[in-house]
Each structure stands twice: as C-alpha cells, then as structure tokens.
Structure 1
Amino acid sequence: MTIASEALKEKLIIIAEHNEISAQKIVTTLKAKGYTDIRLASNGDEIYQLIKPYSDQPEAIGLLVLNASLPGCKAQEICESLASTRAASFIPVVILNDDDFICDFDHCRSPCGDCLTYKINTPVNTQELLLAVKFLLSLKLERQLRLRQEEQLINELAAKNVIDAKLKFLIAHDELTGLFNRSSFERQLRLILNRSNKTQKDGALLFIDVDRFSLINELEGFEVGDRLLVELAILVRKQVPPGSLFARIGADEFCLFLENKTKKQAQTLAETIKYTVDNFRFFTGEVCYSASVSIGIATLDNAISAFHPGEMILHARQACNFAKSNGRDNIWIYSSEDLSVQERRRDIYWVPLIRKALRENHLFLVFQPVVQLSDGYISHYEVLLRMRSESNDLITPDQFIPVAERTGLIHGIDLWVVENAIDFLAALPAYMSHVSLAINLSSSAFQYPDLLSTISDKLEMSWVDAGRLTFEITETAAVDNFENTRHMINKIRALGCKFALDDFGAGFCSFNYLKTFPVDYVKIDGQFIRNLLDNETDQILVRSMVEIAAKLGKKTIAEFVESPGTALKLREIGVNFGQGYAFGKPDRNLLDSKVSIAILQAAQQSPLLIN
C-alpha cells in the first residue's frame, strides 16, 4: 500500500443515506477496507452541516455517497455544485439510484470531463462500491495535483512577467529615482538631436550636480544620501516643463534636456531650479541639512549641427565643472571661446603625452650655469626640464608643466626630476665632484610626504653629498601652504640640502615671509632685472632686496641676466650670483667653470668680473 493510498483513506467520507440498513452496510464495508473517517447524513440539511466546517479546507473531504432519493435534498443540484467545478473545492459523488426513482444521471454514468460522479444501482453491490470509492478518490487526488501544478505554473508565469517588466523598466530607468538612466537618456537624446538638426530647432541641456553630496554619505550613510537624491529629483521634476527629458546619469549627477528652448529660457529655468534647491531643507532625525546644485548649460547652435549626445553632455558637464570651480551653487553656460574650455582641451591633449613621457622616459634634464658675480666662476647649475616628442622635437616646460599642475601629474614629475638629478651627480667623474645643482620643485611638492623619503633614500643609495643640492621653491608656493611647506623644508635641510626662494619680490608680503622662511638663497624675480640698466626704480628695489637678504644671512641670485652690462650693474649693487643667457643657455652638457669669464671677456673685449 502506498503512502498516497493511506492518505486517501484518512479523508472524510459522508454517507448520505436515509435507509439505515443500507447506510450501515456501506459504513461496515468501507471501514473493513481501512477508511477511518465516515459520517452519516439522513437528509440534505445534515449534508450541509457536515460540509460547512470544511469550507476553508475542502481537500479534507474525500467524497460523498448520496442516495438520489434522500429526503430534503436535490441530488442533481448537489452533484453539479460539488462534483462539476474545476476549482480545488470539488467533491466526487457516488450516486445510489433506486430503479424505482427516476432522475437524470445518464451523463454521470462514469467520471468524464469535469464531472466526478459515479452511479450505482441499489441494492448496493459492495464490490462495485469499493471500486467506485477508490477510483473517485484517486481521480480527486490526481485532479488536485494537476490544479496545484497549473496554479503554480500560473504563479510562476505571473512572477516571471513581473520580473520581465521590472527588468525592462530598469534597463531604461534609474532604480532609485525612477528617472531615465544614462544609456536611455543618450538614446532618446540622439533621436531628438537628429530631429532638431533637420528642423533647426533650439534646445538646451542642463547638467545638474549636487554640491558636496559625498559629505552627506560620509556623515549620515548611503541610505540617507539616497533619500536626499530622491527628494531632490522630485523637487526638480516639479520645475521641469512637460515633455522634457530628465535623467540621473551618475551618483549625484542629473541631466535635463529642454527641447525647443532658447539659451535664455534654459538659464531662467536653471536659476529657478537653483533657487528652489537653495530653499529646500532636508531633515534626518533632528538634523537639518541645506543643499545646493551647480548647473552647466550647453545649447544647440543652429549654425553647427550636433549629431552625438555624448558631445553635448560633455560640454554641459564641463560647464558644470567650471560652475563648481567658481564657488559652487552656480550656473555656467558653455562657450567654445571660453578660456577655461580651451585650457581643458589642452589638458585633454597633454595628459596622455605626459603620462607616456614619464612611462617611457621621454623627459630629460638640461643645465644652466649660475655664476658667482664676484669672480665669474660657475657656482652651480640650475636643473631645467625638457620633453621630447615622438617626432624628437623639443618641448619646453611652459607647454606641459601647467597642465601637469592642474591634473595632479606634477608630483610624478617632481620625483622624476629629483631622482634623475641625483643620478646625474652620482654619474659625474671624481674631478667634477664639486658640481652642485639647483632643482625647481612645484608648488604642491612639499604637500607629499614621500618627497622627503625619496630625497633621503636616493642620497643614501648614490652617496651624493646632500650639500650639492639646492631646492628652489617659488614665493607664491611657499605662501600658499606656509606652515606645511616650512615644516617640510626644515626636514629636507636637516639632510644637508639647501633652499632658494624663487621669484622673490613678485608677492606683496615678500619681506615678511623672507624673515621667517628657512632658505639659503633668494632669487630676485626677473621683472626687476630685465630693465635694470635703464630703470632707476628697479635698481633701488634690487638694492633693498640685497641689503635685507644680506642682513638675514641669505645670498642673492639674479635671474634673466642677458647682457654683460646687467651683470656688472648687479655686481655693483651687491648681488652674489647671476643666471641668464649672458653666461650660457640651458644645455645637456656642463660648461667649464672658467667659461663664463671667457664669455664675458669676449662680449666686452675686456677683462670683466675679475678683481
């Protein structure tokens, strides 16, 4: 006997028979075969009372044995309501039909279609009854399994349809805000741009960035940050004209395209959005935050067709970056003539070239002599940087150093120059062990702690005397981060290196910083040297710089010395060293220490600079 057969025998069987002898015979027969839960009903009301408690679990009722002539019972209606339904509540019926009782059960002679009934003539043949009961219970079980499988399949299909619909939505939309995502936005924008190019319509793209959004994530967590983004998206959406294309394309970045809107209309809407966000207050717990946005605007120029949405988004994003760099909570309109735009284009061009130069060693050093004006001998050399292009052309630092400073590549260049300058000194022959170098460092060099370790490690490995190195830092860079810079300079000077303050006199507080800044040399800015011979004011200023530097124990170096006459005047004023084309142009080879004297003598055709 299977487990299923045993389970069937535990189900409720109702014997609806008013003939007590016949009812008892049926009960005895079924119990003898193991059916345990058998209950009797002598009329239609009792059938209802027995079935009623199982209204929530009809599967617990096995079947009904029904005498067709049962008092107070419409047998045919009961069969049709219990045995003909496709629902899980169906109950098979064995119909006991007296030959003297006339009823229409011909269609229920055997179970077929959706009707589970079986007619047996009375007096009851027990064998036929047992077969009918077993057969109908088995069919009931089979139908229940089939209905459960159909229901499960329907549920699975419904769930799959829901998942498919959700996936289709997520493919085109941002899950957090419900706005279009970047790929969907670009796809629809491309269609709009193609249409606008044909019809010569206006249009504007607003790139909206939430200012300092990362602070919310850091202070309150990502969940609060997500809630802020949702509320801001709803806030901005209320200001957006119907039919506009609004999308979230980054963590805290949104794009809004306004079709057939002029630059002025776009700017007006941007100001409305900015004002609305400025007045928005975001609460989390007892804390209240305010928010602001930076907005960049790129417009369609009817004279120039735009075919790719990425280009328009890029322009709007660049404008947004300019808005952020100009104080945030700002609006900026993109213009190809904007100096900032041209500067950004240069950055895009130069960054890969600089990276490649660092990686493939396309940088090299040249050296310009710094001459001691008292006797004309070379004191040391300033290290200058050059780049070699792929076509072997010379690239001067004024073309790539500003880009490196803006893009953060300057630190790698600083370290490259330091390491290669020390390697150069280490490779010189013993008779040139007196040669010293002055190395220019960027304004950010002293903000990186690895500069100190690089210098220290390189000196230790190369056995180069630290006193042969002088590091130059501009006055502007020193002032920008005064305390950090002074702290780092003191540590590097402790290794034995020297320092020079470059471009001295260019700032407003030069003498004040000179008093407290730990440098050995002061390089007088070239603006005071170029016209020194003809400008008495420059002479007075240079003289004052020399006197103050001397009293503070610092030596002076004049840049841009381009004639012997200027060198003589600087010597007369008391400047210690001179540097410029009068003594030699930057070169990869070092000059002999007496060449400077020969150059000046040839220039003036008389002994110069020698006591």
Structure 2
Amino acid sequence: FNRFAAKRHLAAEGKQLSGTLVLMDLKNFRHINDTIGFANADSLLVLFARRLEQLSPAPDFLARLDGDAFLLLYNEGIAEEELHKALDILESPYTIRNTDISVKIRTGTLSLGEHGGSVGALLRRVEIALMQACQEDARIVAYRSGEDEKYQRELSIISELRRSVEQGHFYLVYQPKVDIQNGLCSGAEALIRWEHPEMGQIRPDEFIMLAESTGNIDLISQWVLTEAISQLAVWQQQGMEIKLAVNLSAHDLTNESLPAIIGYMLKERNLPARYLAIEVTEGAVMKDPLVAVGVLQRFRDLGISIAIDDFGTGHSSLAYLKMLPVNEVKIDRSFVKDMLTNDHDAMIVKTSIALTHSLGFTVTAEGVEEQETVDLLKAQGCDIVQGYVYSRPVEAMEFTHWFNQFNQVSEPQAGNHETIA
C-alpha cells in the first residue's frame, strides 16, 4: 500500500494542487476474495491497476491506499461523463484462470479548486464522498461541503472495525427464547456488541449498517459465527440442550459457499446441525431472492433451522412465506409491545400466529416485556417468547447461570422463574 506516497505527492504539490481527486473502491472485493482465494484476488487487483494506468484520460497520479481502494489525481479535473466511461472499462469482466470475474466500483470525488485544506483533510473528504457512494449504492458521489463533522464518526468506526475484531473489542450477548407452552428455555439469540476503548459502546444498528455499506460485513459475520458456534459447543459439553440463533446479513445470503463453511465448523466441533438456527430479515432475502432462497435451502438441507426476523415490517405475504425454506417466523416487537392496549395490534398478532401455524411454522414473539403479554400470547397459541420479561441479553457466563436456574424449576410455568432485569 502507498498511502504515504500519496500524502507525500499531494504535499509536494502544495498550493499548486488543483483538479480532481478520485477515490475508487471495489464494492464486492471481500466476496471475490472469499470465492476465488487470496492469490487470485491479488491477480485481479494487478489487472485492475493496469487498467487504471491505461485509462484515457490517464490520471496524473495513482496510488493504492488500502486493500481495494485506489486514489487518482487528475490535475486538469475530469468530467463526470468521462469518469462514467472509465468505470465502464474498469467494470468489464476480468479473466482469472479462465473464469470471468465481475466487479462493482463505488467512487468518491473531490474538486480541489472548491475544497482546499491540508493533505489529511483532502483525503478525509474524498473518503467521506466514497463512503456516501457506498451507503447510497451510487456509482459516483462528489464531496459536498459541511459533511466532515457528520461523517467523521462513521469514518472512525469503519477504520476501527478490523482492528477491534483483532483486539477483542467485540463480544456476544445472548437473549433467551422461552417455550411458553411448557415454560422451558430451549433457545437463545446471539447478539453482537462493540465496546471501543475510546468511542465507548457503539450501537449494533450503527456499525452493522456501515459494515454492510462498505463491504466489511463478512468480517463481522465470520467473527460472530466463530464465537457463537464455539460457545454452543461449550454449552453442549455442559449438557445444556439449547438451540442458538445467529443473524445473517443480505450480503451473507449471496455467499453460496457459506452453508458448507458453517457445516464444516459444526462438524469440526461435533455439533449436530439442529442446534444452530439462522435468522434473516425479510429485507435481506429480498435483496437477491433467487440466490438467497438457494442459500437458505442449503442451510435447511444441512439440518440448520431458518427463522424470518421482524415479520410484518417488510414484504411478507402468505405466498412469500410459502416460497421460503423456513422453520420459524418471528413477529416484530412493534406489533407485540402494544398488544395489551391496542386491539388492532392484538388482532394482527393473533391472525399472524394462526396463519403462520397453518403453514407449519413455529411462531416467536419478540420484544415481550410484561407477563400479561406472555399470558395473552400463550392463549393465542404462540410458541416462543423472547424479551425482557425473562431476561435482557447477557454474556455467556451469566446466561449459563440463568438458564440452569430457569430450567431447574419443577412443573415449569411461564412467569414463575428467575428474571434478569
């Protein structure tokens, strides 16, 4: 990588610096890396760099800033139409070992005549423009004044992702899933948390969105799967009969090799596949439904359960659900939380339970906070409840203690157990 060379070149230009900075990123490079291997992916980057050098108009300066990010300087500037033509060339398939590989490029641009500043500020601004392109899934985004402060935190989060994985700043918490028909806890959902030493607790909805938009979600998913399956193996060795659910992203559902990878991880730890569940949102499936359904079916073929999360908030219909290889439907908390006071929500939940059962699926209600809601859900035939009524998400040791205490009660009845507030 030659970020230092880029800074040195830009600094040498000094006040004479003009034109346009262009920062390009291969959106799907991590997936390509996983699919064709590191050596072939490196060959792809070499071919990509050669095409960059041969562009017309040619950049006056070219540097590889990070693994798949390239900085170009056009001293005379470059029109957006010309840049689109360049991207057409760069996105044409690359032949690696007799296989055509397609890439998608996201681009941020910075007009140096309009936006001056230090070299560090210039690089930060063009990185902000690139980040916006990734988030908006736009081919080209030009930097807009006043965006620095707004996006500085997001840039920091993105830059810290890999380091935090390596340094152990991520951890998992587990929230129980209780069978309200027999009163026993038979499952849990693994949820990721990030405690950064300087930024503090970073919300999952914040960093997961950024990881997805910048192509770093594979890093998160791999870490979660490894940690969750390792913990599941520990619980099985301790005699805890529990099914653990992990969440997969839309990008994960385009990785056709992922079921085999997870199957190997389970086999390596002598874990039957029935103890693992995969949770996906409706929106994740709809990103690329044909590929996603195929990937989900491979999970089912292995014996791994599939749950549709946040049911009722997206594209769901009976025909849609019938097409999916799922075992479980999770009714979104937005309908569950007001069941006791909102007749409309109560009817939606009751109808959802009946219709979902008619398709042969298990029904889980999320976000349950009151015992009265548990009682109503039980009367309506709901199978499983998840929420603060039983426990907040807790780390593995605390969950183990809670689970053993909860399931030791004789003749279990929902609501007569230890609760972690």
Pairwise same-fold verdict (TM > 0.5): yes
Query: Matched residues in 1 for 2:85 and 2:200: separation?
Result: 56
Matches within 5 A, 1:393-542: 396-428=203-235, 432-542=239-349
Q: Is this contact kept in 1: 2:280–2:307, CA < 8 A?
A: yes
SS in 2 for 1:471: strand
- 1:447-500 Cα distance to aligned partner (Å, 9 max, x none): 224422332222222221211111111111111121212111211222211110
Query: Matched residues in 2 for 1:479 and 1:379: separation?
Result: 30
| Displacement after TM superposition at 1:438 (Å) | 1.4
1:600 and 2:415 matched: yes
Query: Matched residues in 2 for 1:573 and 1:210: separation?
Result: 54
Q: Is this contact kept in 2: 1:296–1:331, CA < 8 A?
A: no
Gaps in structure 1 of 5+ consecutive residues: 1-180, 194-203, 234-246, 259-269, 283-292, 604-611
SS in 2 for 1:428: helix
Alpha-carbon distance change, 312 to 504 in structure 1, aligned in 2, over 3 angstroms: same
Amino acid at match of 2:269: S
Query: Matched residues in 1 for 2:119 and 2:324: separation?
Result: 53
- 1:405-427 Cα distance to aligned partner (Å, 9 max, x none): 23333223222222222222322
1:187 and 2:12 matched: yes
Query: Matched residues in 2 for 1:541 and 1:584: separation?
Result: 25
- 1:247-299 Cα distance to aligned partner (Å, 9 max, x none): 545688344589xxxxxxxxxxx8xx44788899x9xxxxxxxxxx9854467
Give the number of the structure whose alpha-carbon radius of gyration is greater.
1
Q: Is this contact kept in 2: 1:297–1:316, CA < 8 A?
A: no
Q: Is this contact kept in 1: 2:283–2:315, CA < 8 A?
A: no
| Displacement after TM superposition at 1:560 (Å) | 0.3
| Displacement after TM superposition at 1:517 (Å) | 0.4
Equivalences, count: 363
SS in 2 for 1:229: coil
Query: Matched residues in 1 for 2:161 and 2:83: separation?
Result: 40
More relative contact order in 1 or in 2 (CA 8 Å, sep 6+)? 2
2:383 corresponds to which residue?
576
Q: Is this contact kept in 2: 1:205–1:297, CA < 8 A?
A: yes
Alpha-carbon distance change, 276 to 528 in structure 1, aligned in 2, over 3 angstroms: same
Query: Matched residues in 2 for 1:438 and 1:430: separation?
Result: 18
Q: Is this contact kept in 2: 1:211–1:329, CA < 8 A?
A: no
Alpha-carbon distance change, 547 to 390 in structure 1, aligned in 2, over 3 angstroms: same
Q: Is this contact kept in 1: 2:128–2:155, CA < 8 A?
A: no
Alpha-carbon distance change, 534 to 294 in structure 1, aligned in 2, over 3 angstroms: same
Amino acid at match of 2:150: Q
1:229 and 2:39 matched: no
Q: Is this contact kept in 2: 1:373–1:576, CA < 8 A?
A: yes
Which one of 118, 121, 136 corresponds to residue 311 of structure 1?
Answer: 121
SS in 1 for 2:326: coil
Q: Is this contact kept in 1: 2:322–2:359, CA < 8 A?
A: yes
1:74 corresponds to which residue?
none
Identity of aligned residues (%): 25
1:253 and 2:84 matched: no
Matches within 5 A, 1:336-351: 336-337=146-147, 342-343=150-151, 345-351=152-158
- 1:174-214 Cα distance to aligned partner (Å, 9 max, x none): xxxxxxx98666433x2359xxxxxxxxxx864457999xx
Query: Matched residues in 1 for 2:121 and 2:199: separation?
Result: 33
Q: Is this contact kept in 2: 1:543–1:573, CA < 8 A?
A: yes
Q: Is this contact kept in 2: 1:471–1:497, CA < 8 A?
A: yes
Amino acid at match of 1:229: S
| Displacement after TM superposition at 1:227 (Å) | 6.8
Query: Matched residues in 2 for 1:439 and 1:404: separation?
Result: 17
Which one of 557, 563, 567 corresponds to residue 374 of structure 2?
Answer: 567
SS in 2 for 1:600: coil
Q: Is this contact kept in 2: 1:347–1:403, CA < 8 A?
A: yes
SS in 2 for 1:432: coil
2:352 corresponds to which residue?
545
| Displacement after TM superposition at 1:314 (Å) | 3.9
Gaps in structure 2 of 5+ consecutive residues: 1-5, 27-43, 64-69, 89-106
Q: Is this contact kept in 1: 2:108–2:127, CA < 8 A?
A: no
Alpha-carbon distance change, 439 to 600 in structure 1, aligned in 2, over 3 angstroms: same
| Displacement after TM superposition at 1:550 (Å) | 0.9
Matches within 5 A, 1:6-21: none
Alpha-carbon distance change, 391 to 478 in structure 1, aligned in 2, over 3 angstroms: same
SS in 1 for 2:364: strand
Query: Matched residues in 2 for 1:182 and 1:356: separation?
Result: 23
Query: Matched residues in 1 for 2:247 and 2:82: separation?
Result: 49
| Displacement after TM superposition at 1:371 (Å) | 1.1
- 1:148-195 Cα distance to aligned partner (Å, 9 max, x none): xxxxxxxxxxxxxxxxxxxxxxxxxxxxxxxxx98666433x2359xx
Query: Matched residues in 1 for 2:224 and 2:351: separation?
Result: 34
Query: Matched residues in 2 for 1:532 and 1:503: separation?
Result: 16
Query: Matched residues in 2 for 1:413 and 1:505: separation?
Result: 26
| Displacement after TM superposition at 1:316 (Å) | 4.4
Alpha-carbon distance change, 536 to 466 in structure 1, aligned in 2, over 3 angstroms: same
Measured on the aligned residues, the alpha-carbon RMSD in Å equals 4.2
SS in 2 for 1:311: helix
Query: Matched residues in 2 for 1:576 and 1:366: separation?
Result: 23
Matches within 5 A, 1:76-115: none
Amino acid at match of 1:342: K
Query: Matched residues in 2 for 1:221 and 1:352: separation?
Result: 23
| Displacement after TM superposition at 1:519 (Å) | 0.5
| Displacement after TM superposition at 1:377 (Å) | 1.7
1:3 corresponds to which residue?
none
SS in 1 for 2:253: helix
Amino acid at match of 2:276: L
- 1:392-416 Cα distance to aligned partner (Å, 9 max, x none): 9665533432332233332232222
Matches within 5 A, 1:258-273: 273=79
SS in 2 for 1:470: strand
1:384 corresponds to which residue?
191
